[in-house]
Structure 1
Amino acid sequence: MDLQRYSGLWYEFARYENRFEEGCEGVTAEYTPQPDGVIAVKNSCREATVDGPLKVSNGKAKPAGDPKGAKLKVSFFGPALMTNYWVLDHGDDYDWSIVGEGSGRYLWILTREPRPSAERRVELIARAKSLGYDTDMLRYTEQPAR
């Protein structure tokens, strides 16, 4: 995986519900490579609705020794609390990605556009299912119109 191409702004299309995103809509993630090899991470969401109050979490990611670069360690609370962030699949043009962490407990489907087409949504759900995820557990994220 090319981390330079992966960097930039992503919109959350769907996720497995989790406590740190509970009630979030309009979720985005932005990845910015730093000169020291660390990747700055900025996660944003709106509470309850796409017009709700903005919540922002800043963290850092670093490659986890995977030669393909698809496995990262991410922390929002300092180096003692690094968690897995695995890019399980992505588009050839880096226009979508499916992210998990190995246990199957977490799943995110990200796109470069806030509202992917119906065809793209079906494709991404099928890809997540082919990776062994229970797509009935997906929670679809509301995104604002551009």
Structure 2
Amino acid sequence: MKALRILLVMIMSLMLTACFGMPDNVTPVKNFDVDRYLGKWYEIARLDHSFERGLNNISAEYTMRDDGGIAVVNRGYSVEDGQWETAEGKAYFVNDKDEAYLKVSFFGPFYGSYVVFELEQDNYDYAFISGPNTSYLWLLSRTPVVAQSVIDDFITMSQERGFDTSELIFVNHDRDSHRD
């Protein structure tokens, strides 16, 4: 019985940490400044996931938490349901605070990787983000529209890292998320 408990604890520990990784060719941005990263971001493009399926006008708002982590509020509009959907989570740095490698949770003790692998350095205008593997990819921007050159760079850099960019979804931003 004791051996079974130890085995279960080991398996659960592996499951809880398995999503902290990143694709082999992805490297987190160094000299990351969390204070500059905080605020509102618009999702420009992503790979498909059940938790965002059918949503448009997606944004993420990042603020500091009292415990040193980051509060995350994701918001998107479901055309099918005719209403806004919101998910609240929390994120913490995996290593040092100057490395853009975080773990994020929307579901209790379960965390997944959030790795910024490209970041516009002057004003933090856009960011390319990976999850634990090449099935998770996002382009975020401070504005709901970006220059085509940013999209082109995102596609090129993502392909070089093994992401299937032929499956990208480009997010429609036709509603003001502060109005509704």
The farther-off stretch of 105-114 and 29-38 is 29-38
Distance in 1 between the 2:168 and 2:115 partners? 18
Task: Calculate the TM-score normalised by the size of structure 2.
Answer: 0.73
Corresponding residue number in structure 2 for 1:118: 148
Confirm whether residue 85 of structure 1 aligns to residue 132 of structure 2.
Answer: no
Structure 2 partner of 1:108:
138
Matched-pair contact (CA < 8 Å) for 1:34–1:40? yes
Using the TM superposition, name which of 60-69 and 21-30 deviates more: 60-69
Q: Which residue of 2 aligns with 1:130?
A: 160
Partner of 1:15: 46
* C-alpha displacement of 1:138: 0.6
Contact 1:16 1:107 (C-alpha < 8 Å) held by counterparts: yes
Residue of structure 2 in register with 1:46 after alignment: 77
Once residues 82 and 122 of structure 1 are traced to their aligned partners in structure 2, the CA distance between those partners, rounded to angstroms, is 30
Unaligned runs of 5+ in 2: 1-31
**SS of equivalent to 2:56:** strand
Task: Write 1 or 2 for the structure with the bigger share of strand.
Answer: 1
Unaligned runs of 5+ in 1: none
Does residue 60 of structure 1 match 2:95?
A: no
- For the aligned residue pairs, the C-alpha RMSD in angstroms reads 1.9
CA shift, 1:67, in A, is: 5.8
Higher Rg of the two aligned structures: 2
- Out of 83-92 and 129-138, give the one that drifted further: 129-138
SS at match of 1:4: helix
One-letter code of the match for 2:112?
Answer: T
Shift of 1:66: 4.2
How far apart in 1 are the matches of 2:97 and 2:42? 26
Structure 1 partner of 2:105: 75
Matching residue's letter, 2:41: W
* Distance (whole Å) between structure 1 residues aligned to residue 39 and residue 160 of structure 2: 26
**CA shift at 1:145, angstroms?**
6.5
